[in-house]
Structure 1
Amino acid sequence: MATPPPTAPSAPYPHSPVPPSNPGPQPFAPKRSWFARHKVLTGLGAVVVIGAVASALGGGHGTSSTAGPHADGTTVASAPATPSDPAQADTAQDSEETTEEAGSEVTFPGMKSGDVVASGGETVTSDDVQITTTALTAGDATLGPTACTSVTIVNNSKNPLDVNAFDFTLQTPTGAIINPTFSGTDNFLQSSTLIAGGTVTGDVCFDQDLTGGGQYVVLYKPTLSFFKDRVAWVNTL
């Protein structure tokens, strides 16, 4: 009896693939880099680096208009610049002084509406008449203490102006209004009539002791002239 030829081994299960008799080595899978495995961190790092480079390039150029500290520590203030021209500096200072003077009004007890008020020694012009009274000083005290002021009146109006020492009175710190006296000086303001452009100068004195200090107000109100306003010169001693 003849021996049948050998047959190939059959699969363990029907229709299943036959495993290779001598499997070769498996192909090696390449390992990914750290950056490929950490994409999120890589992206964040790139953003930080780009921002730092842009900041360094942008911050080192150009001129900034914002005030800030210099390299030596000096701070540039945002205050108004000082004028380089001395004339401009003087003008600015005069403007500040004028503002301060305009903001401080001279007042006194008993002041009436319409009074023209000034400080002792100032010149007042009203109804085209210029009147100046010097600051009060102690006059001759032979017959007792006196307070005197030197008066100058210039009539720039077109009408004649009657002048009399008794057009002036003195308000004392206690609120009493007193009339002039005939002592205290040898240069009394004489009674006169000033024509247009006329000028007169003389002293007006009062029986008053100035050693106690206080506020004294020289008042001027003519009774026999067109002069309408009452003028007051405030003296604070």
Structure 2
Amino acid sequence: MQKTLLVTSLLVSALVSTGANADPKTPGTHKGYSTIELVNNGIPKDLKMITVDDIKNELKGKGHIAVGLDVDDTTLFSSPVFYRGQQEFSPGGYSYLSNQKFWDKANCGWDAFSMPKEIAKKIIAMHQERGDDIYFITARTPSKCHFTTDYLKKTFHIKNMHDVIFSGSSHTKYMKTQYIKANNIKIYYGDADGDIISARKAGAEGIRVMRSANSSYKPIPKNGIYGERILKDSQY
């Protein structure tokens, strides 16, 4: 447990020290802009903004593919879950992220308080219309329950639901890459820098979903910092 707490502490320290810069494991290649900056100042011309319809048109005439989505701040606005967890298990600190009791609460019931993001509804509806395979891959610590899988299936009306993949997180490795590659996922949607890099390392395209400006997960990432394409109006 002490080792786990140390890793978590180092990860949080890295995030805080780098501010809204790129993932500390992979330097950014572009300037990038946080959702807060985009809301306040508008969309700069150097960002590669796209819509769900753009992706649909690009895939027109192509066969079925497998796609993946991150869960927190991509598919669900789950800040209420993490805020509650911090208040109950480590007020003012981050050790709750290394507490299995928190993850069991989050994964086995508290997701009922997570709100589905509108952009996720559009992404999923488009890919289901095409008959694509849809996977959810989250960096959360797993629990012995299927609540989150059932919640996502019901909330987004998933026809062919796969169990949510809990990759866990690491300070040194991109844990999602192996699952993106193993399931032959061609497009992976995510809000975090690690989502974009994980997809690229697996030979897939990582498309950025903007993290909501009021998310409890800070700092807010710099959209476009890797030159990736960004979904327009995906902050909600």
TM-score, normalising length: structure 1: 0.20
Structure-2-length-normalised TM-score = 0.20
Larger RCO of the pair (alpha carbons < 8 Å, separation 6+): 2
Q: Which has the larger radius of gyration?
A: 1
Q: Please identify which structure carries the higher strand content.
A: 1
